[in-house]
A and B are shown apart, each in its own frame.
Chain A
């Protein structure tokens, strides 16, 4: 925590003092115009209200962010046209005119009164409409946010075969709605705040009050409060500012584009952080196990889900150590291979001009280049790069005798294993460590591989994500055997009656109605529990 104290201790006070609203429409408008000078996308409209046209009102909004129809139809029309038709007894209403306008004239659902012009400007810039009334010391803020948004579409990063194909969009409201649709529980809390001195980005902390780990929630709120940055453009900013250990290569928060995966995590007792303008949500605490899970694990039947999960564990191990083991065994321990294989490897490496480490390093670097090039290029060309790099380069390199065919197999296997990891950030950290491991394997052999593995293990044991050990449930003191139902394998749903213990959840009952009673209801066997 010391790190955070250092980083956030000097949180600056809001430099702008409060500007009170005056009882003069002109003056207020001038003040707003002065502050927003030079912004040509701000619309100012002054108009007169009432039979006698004596009251001067003004509205201010940002073009493109505010819903023009709403402002025209339900604000301007009501005030300018309909109010004139009303038989207004001026004297009776004189002292109540603002209440009448607020409560009786404006047919919009969300209205706020504020008395600070600076606050009003924040609102205007986020798409609300400010209504300035003559001779009143408050401004009315009409919720009129409405800008073109991308429609809800299939997420590009975590595709599943079975499961919803809805993904988050760049609009926070749409995203919270997508979560709310999956959790119709009054205990689902969406706590909203603004982060960013200049960007004023909306950030929402989402959790289910009865399942959430209170310590984690408190920590999340504290850490978010301490962020003092000019702009937040993506969840990545927040992730890096609130993670426990910035030196660790491992991500300590999980990001996802899928509302179902956020909902699932909330039910497990985790906390989601949503940020406006990005389709990625953060899930904390993240553990090594949660980063290896895919929502599909829970949708598929448990045999398949468990088998695929174990495959994933193997693939992580492979993506980390395979090239290093190749280097270590070919350079130091050929006795560990079966004789036929050892002879074959030796033969296939005949006349290869590089030692195993250089060979492996070249190929792995080429692979990373290929990957990077494929991402940068537009999709149609991206696949061409794959073919050129993968087939042509690999084939040519082997035929030219620069690398051994076995090395190409190892590199290809490693790449496949790395891409099988569900969480991209987690996979990247293993890719980085792979190079370190290769270097150690090159000058210490298998001993070096074990050495690096031990260092990684020690680090992982020490690592925490929001107070929850990263290797939960393997290391946490709160672990119970029950947690292992959903680690290497996923037991059928009717065995998973509890939520994960390592999250210290409160409402532990997940599935009350177990399978036996369902069968009875269906007229099946009357088993006893």
Chain B
């Protein structure tokens, strides 16, 4: 009997000891869908803000290091019964992100909820500061609410401006951006924005590629990518460069490659591409070999040029030209990231560790020096599966 009582007591204690203490009714939460984090630059920032008539940042204080902006949608409007602005935005400055969150609690009626954050934008000035960048990345990774499937992006200007974009279609900016990211499946020009990938890549190879986001008044454009090395941004890649990189990383969904042949412009829509990366050691040199096989569809030829697209030899020639074109782009980009940036964006070190552990044992200590000297080969095999409707 005594034992049973103790057991009962223990059981009851488990109810109190664990469980959910953070009860907030759903309508009292502010569902932050997008977060913008900028570096606080004292004088310049204040003056600029005054001119643009933005919310006034509190007194210049030496302890301020970040400007954080949260955007959350007016949920009443989504359910079709509220009114007012489609989106609310709060900006605050502070020493650390958690300081800022605490400070914001004094200004907002709801409590901040980060479970539905879809987008985190970092300003370029922040991304280039290693110390701040590492703090921010750790804060993001440590938060149990923020998911790993959200998008992390870097903007050349200030991140706050991205959140100010008045996208007419969607009150929740994060969802709007997410929908754009979905387009990644249709174009390879957007780098992989998955936070999980970026964090993992930074952990494993100290390098990652993060999409670039640019804002205008009513829309945003996501194209190109920022290159991170040693936890900070060191440069940009253009749209086509990003596309080539995505092909190398086996992340290219769909792409358009246009080649010129016999003075005819021929756009080929690649709807499937898969990349096989191998690393081989030969004569003391390390080779990275990219084997890309693609399937595509000819989308345009020239009116009233008959017979050519039915000619097998012609198509073979076209396939070869497309392959050459992509091979050239890939070689250029590879050279850029290898020689110019000296970053292991393709995570070759991880590939070596997993697939060639013996070789990795030999090179792991001087990998940073060996990597820029490794050689590469790329082979693209294109197959034109469809030529469209033709007479």
Contacts and interface: CB of A to CB of B under 8 A. Distances in A.
A313 to B, nearest CB: 28
Interface stretch (B70-78, B232-240, B378-386): B70-78
Q: Of residues B27, B31, B145, B172, which shows the largest number of chain A Cβ atoms within 10 Å of its Cβ?
A: B27
Interface string B167-195: 00000101100000000000000000000
Contact of B25 (A330, A340, A348, A445): A330
Interface string B318-353: 000000000000000000000000000000000000
A350 B33 contact: no
B116 interface: yes
B22 interface: yes
A447 interface: yes
Contacts of B22: 332
Contacts, number: 90
Contact of B113 (A331, A334, A444, A451): A334
B81 interface: yes
Nearest to A334: B26
B39 interface: no
A330 B31 CA distance: 13
13 contacts: A332-B20, A334-B31, A334-B113, A335-B116, A339-B174, A343-B78, A344-B75, A346-B31, A346-B79, A347-B78, A348-B79, A349-B27, A356-B25
Given A339-B118, A343-B31, A331 B26 contact: yes
B29 A334 contact: yes
Contacts of A447: 18-20
Contacts of A332: 20, 22-23
B175 A340 contact: yes
A32 interface: no
B26 A345 contact: yes
A164 interface: no
Q: Of residues A340, A349, A350, which shows the largest number of chain B Cβ atoms within 10 Å of its Cβ?
A: A350
A292 interface: no
B276 to A, nearest CB: 35
B27 A346 contact: yes
A446 interface: yes
Interface string A319-330: 000000000011
Contacts of B19: 444-445, 447-448
A342 B32 CA distance: 12
Task: Name the 6 nearest CB pairs between A and B, nearest first.
Answer: A335-B115, A347-B79, A445-B20, A347-B75, A346-B75, A349-B27
Interface in B133-176: 145, 172, 174-175
Interface residues of A, number: 29
B24 interface: yes
Contacts of B20: 332-333, 444-448
A343 B29 contact: no
A344 B79 contact: yes
A446 B20 CA distance: 8
Given A339-B175, A347-B82, A350-B82, 13 more contacts: A330-B25, A331-B23, A334-B26, A334-B113, A343-B78, A343-B172, A346-B27, A346-B29, A346-B31, A347-B79, A444-B15, A445-B23, A447-B19
A20 interface: no
Given A339-B33, A444-B15, A446-B20, A334 B79 contact: no
Interface of A: 329-335, 339-340, 342-352, 355-356, 443-448, 451
Q: Of residues B22, B82, B116, which shows the largest number of chain A Cβ atoms within 10 Å of its Cβ?
A: B116
* B-side interface mostly: loop
Contacts of A349: 25-27
A343 B23 contact: no
B18 A344 contact: no
B145 A331 contact: no
A444 B12 CA distance: 13
Contacts of B172: 339, 343
A5 to B, nearest CB: 21
B104 to A, nearest CB: 18
A352 B175 contact: no
Contacts of B27: 346-347, 349-352
A447 B19 CA distance: 6
A339 to B, nearest CB: 5
A100 to B, nearest CB: 74
A342 B31 contact: yes
Contacts of A333: 20
Nearest to A331: B23
Contacts of A330: 25-26
Interface string B267-288: 0000000000000000000000
Contacts of A339: 31, 33, 116, 118, 172, 174-175
B148 to A, nearest CB: 13
A401 B81 CA distance: 10
Contacts of A343: 31, 73, 75, 78, 116, 172
A350 B110 CA distance: 12
A443 to B, nearest CB: 8
A351 B116 CA distance: 22
A451 B14 CA distance: 10
B79 A350 contact: yes
A353 to B, nearest CB: 11
Nearest to A446: B20
A451 B16 CA distance: 12
A347 B116 contact: no
A49 to B, nearest CB: 75
Nearest to A347: B79
A308 to B, nearest CB: 35
Contacts of A445: 19-20, 23
A347 B76 contact: yes
A344 B24 contact: no
Contacts of A348: 79, 81
Contacts of B18: 447
B15 A451 contact: yes
A492 to B, nearest CB: 43
Interface string B58-76: 0000000000000001111
A335 B113 contact: yes
A335 B149 CA distance: 13
Given A343-B31, A343-B75, A447-B19, A331 B116 contact: no
Nearest to B73: A343
Contacts of B76: 347, 350-351
Q: Of residues A332, A333, A343, A448, which shows the largest number of chain B Cβ atoms within 10 Å of its Cβ?
A: A343
A328 to B, nearest CB: 8
Interface in B60-114: 73-82, 113
Contacts of B175: 339-340
Nearest to B24: A331
B78 A355 contact: no
Q: Of residues B73, B75, B82, B113, which shows the largest number of chain A Cβ atoms within 10 Å of its Cβ?
A: B75
A349 B82 CA distance: 11
A141 to B, nearest CB: 57
A352 B29 CA distance: 14
Q: Of residues B23, B25, B31, which shows the largest number of chain A Cβ atoms within 10 Å of its Cβ?
A: B25
A444 B17 CA distance: 11
A447 B17 CA distance: 12
Contacts of B15: 444, 451
Contacts of A352: 27
Contact of A342 (B23, B26, B74): B26
Nearest to A338: B116
B144 to A, nearest CB: 9
B109 to A, nearest CB: 12
Contact of A344 (B29, B33, B78, B115): B78
Contacts of A334: 26, 29, 31, 113, 115-116
A354 to B, nearest CB: 9
A356 B118 contact: no
Contacts of A347: 27, 74-82
